[in-house]
Structure 1
């Protein structure tokens, strides 16, 4: 038999375990925090800046290259009369590719397509981060409400146990009724412990997804979505980052094939130098070099075929990406419809179960119902309330999943109160390969310094 002091102790532990509601935190607050604190976004922003630098390096290949060199040597000769001479030379040399069949120009265009593809990859990561935050926020809310529901359930069963004991003492019920109530109370305590464990796990997931612990959850409404699944699929095929990422990858692969074919053409370059020795004798030279492949053992042809195969793989990948996006939209809408239907059915179930529970409890007080009948009716009401909580959470998550499937789950579309990352700002500073010490280079240094502080 469970003692009342033990029940009171369990209630105290439940109160201590429940996370305190410091303030009403909205879903928008959570999404803004996830956007600002995401290390995954920082990582992929850095990868985008690295892709931007590839454009700068490709542009640099089309510009003159100027180098300097100094050399000094000391010569000792003892053949006849011992002589020691020292020679010092300073040299400035330069080179410029005048014609390469368009290879360098195609390299620049290819790297630009890769930058655009990487930007879409970053947008996809942003969607993943925000959707994970939505799920974490709603799961914490679900588990907290489950804990409250289990706590209320335990209080009701405790009351039923006490009522069964009182009725047993006056001979209205048997010891079996008391034992049934005790067993149901023990089961309720087990379910409460499980709900508290799930809440603890949800809080840890929230911390990982958002970058801080959750506070009190506020109300969250489903995101507005298009009514037509077909319209949503058509929109997603045009705007989803996964599709646009592969589209730019295909364009880059096609440019890579053209660049590989350019390797078969001749190249024309200009080379020059100016040298000055320690006796101030000046030497200068300028010349042109023209050349191209005659025989390479089939290496260039093999490289072209390889690039063509990579292009074909990218095209097939685009088809796969489009199918996957359509499937995501369909799945998200199906989950949304199920959640909405479940919410409506749960409302009806709660109304009926509450009326049944109240009636059974009154009938039990009159002796026409057993303790088991009361406990079963209370369990029906508990299940209906739990289903309603789950349906509300599932509807919100499904609605934001629809936005993600359409490519709209971004800080810009949601108008989050955050400083949004400008994907073109860094590119605009480096795309023409600025020199160190130039005004643009100094602006770039300031940007990099600010990024390192962040």
Structure 2
């Protein structure tokens, strides 16, 4: 494909995207699609369900365990004469069971620790949701930004083309020199190059939109910045109490504390109940029941080492919590600063455009009277173009920064934004598995249906 065909293909894409559509696509539509189509959210929801199963497995350790076994064998005593050798056949069927009566609370602490990890994983899912939605906001605004850049560059090419033709006409009647014509021609070539770059950037932003939202953009509507009413300090205080990154680490610290308490039970004796019933090939039944009591006497320092390791892990989690809180506060401060910068840049560009437009129109009028050169007209037009480009970027940056503030505070969620989606309930699956239902129970069969339905989506 040569350059001309490549530019033609880009122009077709641009015209399809920037053309009028029957219905404008709003930012809420894009965020709804991003939430619904996100594979990253599906991945982390599956990880949360896996964490839920850890609770079920910990609960199972507190319940009775019942096993069955069957065995059969046949033997011949070769020490006997051949005439006396007979096969001896034996068979045995047995059912055995065991139940931990006392373990110093180890199993119960294990359940509580896994519950904390489930809560931590839920916060991870919330954080991923924020990332998905913020990426969609950025993709939406980048498409709008680049669409407007393309339109601006197209307008710029048209204006400079007119200036180039006017310079040629004035050169033919002797009003300007060859230098004026060459300046206009060079500026026209540069404008066309910038138009091609803007078209390429638009195509790239469309691909990012497709990846972030799950579909190609249509006619994107204008967007106002998200309302941000809190002060920086109020936002920081809110974030350190509610941001999913902070809550995630807090639950991890709680789990680490519970693991230390569980580790302390390693030296406590355990009491378990066991029993079995069996029958052999002669239908002779036998049964037994007993209580086992035991505990460690010497383990070569392993128990002490595990305890030190658990304490170190707890200390690391606590330090991680401090770092996370500091990072969240920094993110809030940075987001507010970015919002203020974008807002100031947009306001300044509005004033700059007004002044640059007056200057451009004046210089162009003076050029028709012969008191200005073509180069001066082109420079004035470039200043106006730069001002308009700054306003476009400022508007997009202000919207992105406002939603980044919500993300830094932990509020960029489908629930807070009131998106018209069926929100994922992280407790629904947990409530089905938390009691460790057996495979063949009604609840177990219900879980199988749920998992099959998830796999078919």
Query: 2:57–2:436: 8 Å Cα contact kept in structure 1?
Result: yes
Cα gap change, 1:13/1:293 in structure 2, threshold over 3 Å: closer, same or farther? closer
CA distance in 1, matches of 2:36, 2:318: 35
Deviations for 1:85-142, whole angstroms, at most 9, x for unmatched residues?
1111100000011111111000000000000000000000000000000000000100
Runs of 4+ in 1 over 3 A off after TM superposition: 8-15
Q: Structure 1 residue aligned with 2:339, among 299, 319, 336?
A: 336
State the match for 1:312 in structure 2.
315
Deviation of 1:17 (Å):
4.2
Deviation of 1:225 (Å):
1.3
State the match for 1:146 in structure 2.
149
TM-score normalised by length of structure 1:
0.96
CA distance in 2, matches of 1:378, 1:184: 11
Q: Structure 2 residue aligned with 1:157, among 160, 166, 172?
A: 160
CA distance in 2, matches of 1:362, 1:11: 34
Query: 1:71–1:89: 8 Å Cα contact kept in structure 2?
Result: yes
Matched residue count: 447
Deviation of 1:19 (Å):
4.4
State the match for 2:72 in structure 1.
72
Query: 1:226–1:232: 8 Å Cα contact kept in structure 2?
Result: no
Which stretch of structure 1 is more off in the superposition, 210-219 or 10-19? 10-19
Q: Does 1:18 align with 2:14?
A: yes
Deviation of 1:437 (Å):
2.6
Q: Does 1:122 align with 2:125?
A: yes
Query: 1:273–1:285: 8 Å Cα contact kept in structure 2?
Result: yes
State the match for 2:86 in structure 1.
83
State the match for 2:368 in structure 1.
365
CA distance in 2, matches of 1:100, 1:443: 33
State the match for 1:36 in structure 2.
36
State the match for 2:112 in structure 1.
109
Deviation of 1:445 (Å):
1.7
State the match for 2:46 in structure 1.
46
Q: Does 1:421 align with 2:445?
A: no
Matches within 5 A, 1:238-249: 238-249=241-252
Q: Structure 1 residue aligned with 2:356, among 353, 357, 363?
A: 353
Deviation of 1:442 (Å):
2.2
Query: 2:141–2:400: 8 Å Cα contact kept in structure 1?
Result: yes
Q: Does 1:99 align with 2:102?
A: yes
CA distance in 1, matches of 2:159, 2:104: 84
Which stretch of structure 1 is more off in the superposition, 119-128 or 77-86? 77-86
Deviation of 1:16 (Å):
2.4
State the match for 1:301 in structure 2.
304
Deviation of 1:450 (Å):
1.2
CA distance in 1, matches of 2:8, 2:241: 55
Which secondary structure state, in structure 1, belongs to the residue aligned with residue 267 of structure 2?
coil
Query: 2:7–2:196: 8 Å Cα contact kept in structure 1?
Result: no
Which secondary structure state, in structure 2, belongs to the residue aligned with residue 284 of structure 1?
strand
Which stretch of structure 1 is more off in the superposition, 153-162 or 225-234? 225-234
Deviations for 1:273-327, whole angstroms, at most 9, x for unmatched residues?
0000111111000001101111111000000000000000000000000000000
Deviations for 1:48-78, whole angstroms, at most 9, x for unmatched residues?
0000000000000000000000000111124
Structure 2's unaligned 5+ residue stretches are none
Deviation of 1:11 (Å):
9.5
CA distance in 1, matches of 2:39, 2:266: 41
Query: 1:332–1:402: 8 Å Cα contact kept in structure 2?
Result: yes
Deviations for 1:237-280, whole angstroms, at most 9, x for unmatched residues?
11000000000000000111111111111111111000001111
CA distance in 2, matches of 1:186, 1:397: 33
TM-score normalised by length of structure 2:
0.96
Cα gap change, 1:48/1:14 in structure 2, threshold over 3 Å: closer, same or farther? closer
State the match for 1:190 in structure 2.
193
Cα gap change, 1:401/1:440 in structure 2, threshold over 3 Å: closer, same or farther? same
CA distance in 2, matches of 1:77, 1:281: 24
Q: Does 1:291 align with 2:287?
A: no
Query: 2:253–2:317: 8 Å Cα contact kept in structure 1?
Result: yes
CA distance in 1, matches of 2:295, 2:442: 39
State the match for 1:135 in structure 2.
138
Structure 1's unaligned 5+ residue stretches are 1-7
Q: Structure 2 residue aligned with 1:327, among 330, 333, 338?
A: 330
